[in-house]
Amino acid sequence: MPILTLEGAGEYQVPQGKRLVLALVEEAGVDQLHACGGNARCTTCRVEFVAGEPSRMTVAERDVLAARGLSDVRLSCQITCDHDMTVRIISRLAGSGRNDAGHEPAKEITPPPVWIEK
């Protein structure tokens, strides 16, 4: 099983292929924001990669990051845990002023992913 490491927080075993946003919430217990429910619209599921950044990304992730002018973050709702990775948590419910973290993301990446090399 892949190891998900949160910088300064710990290591967690994650089922192969699990959505990163769900691994952050369910395995690591992070109050990670995912306001749009994992649909590559809000960018609140953003994380910074310390190591193991995936070389592929979905077209939906590429497009929303470009539209928002974001270049140093990745969207955890558009990434699967298929190898070891280390991330920095930068978008939590705590301190956000929001009432909740967002709708629960589906088990599979949504919208249906079209993969490209980053």
Binding site for ligand FES (CB under 6 A): 34-36, 38-45, 75, 77
Q: How far is the CB of 64 from ligand FES (least distance, A)?
A: 6
Judged by beta carbon, residue 5 or residue 41, the one nearer ligand FES is 41
Q: Which residues make Cβ contacts (< 8 Å) with residue 32, sequence separation at least 6? A: 21, 24, 25, 45, 47, 76, 89, 91, 92, 93, 101
For residue 114, the minimal CB distance to ligand FES (Å) is 16
| Cβ-based nearer residue to ligand FES, 14 or 58 | 58
In the bound state with ligand FES, the residue whose beta carbon lies nearer, of 1 and 114, is 114
10-13 and 3-6 strand pairing? antiparallel
- Min. distance of Cβ 45 from ligand FES in angstroms? 3
| Of residues 1 and 98, the one with the C-beta less far from ligand FES | 98
- In the complex, what is the shortest distance from the CB of residue 23 to ligand FES, in angstroms, rounded to a whole number? 13
